[in-house]
Amino acid sequence: SQQGEEDPQALSIQEGENATMNCSYKTSINNLQWYRQNSGRGLVHLILIRSNEREKHSGRLRVTLDTSKKSSSLLITASRAADTASYFCATVSYYGGSQGNLIFGKGTKLSVKP
Amino acid sequence: EAQVTQNPRYLITVTGKKLTVTCSQNMNHEYMSWYRQDPGLGLRQIYYSMNVEVTDKGDVPEGYKVSRKEKRNFPLILESPSPNQTSLYFCASSPYLGPPSGTQYFGPGTRLLVL
């Protein structure tokens, strides 16, 4: 069952610009995580935001969470060519008998042009 | 180095020929999971294990088996592979699953082609 849905599906920007990706989900969650995947490689955890948090920062990453709208956004500031990757949101929920597994969205493909 | 390893990384096989993809983690994690990734579908969970001898189905378990005899290993078994199991497979592990956690560490992936 797909929980998160990222938007846009693809994003192309110039180096130095900011990149914003959005994620919407359907059910109550305990936390939401963002992962990055370089082409064909394993996913790397970027940041986790808990359901009682509204905003979190990590380096050039800023994540917001609006549980009333069931949505999150990932902002990458001053993007670099090395940020080119696919970005996935994933939710963790223990509500309604859920086991707390990670449920992933389909991802946003970010391309940062030098 | 703390890591999740998968073998093989690439595999071409034929329909019906049993295969096993191994997964091993050296972080003493309780939780392990298998995902498949297909274009346009994102990552979907196949099976997961919350501890030794405890496994459960994910969203797409049909055609797969797993076992968890030791904490560090979680092999994925395809008894009779079919072309619709051609995919990119990821193993992942996590130190604990209780809230508010769930962060997972992913292996490098196994690209499987079933002819």
Interchain contact, A41 vs B56, CB within 8 Å: no
On the question of pLDDT at A103 being above 90, the answer is no
DSSP string, A21-57: EEEE-SS--SEEEEEEE-TTS-EEEEEEEETT-SEEE
Res. A98 pLDDT band, cuts 50 70 90: low
Candidate from A31, A45, A50 with C-beta closest to B104: A45
Interchain contact, A101 vs B33, CB within 8 Å: yes
pLDDT in tens, A40-59: 788 999 999 999 999 999 99
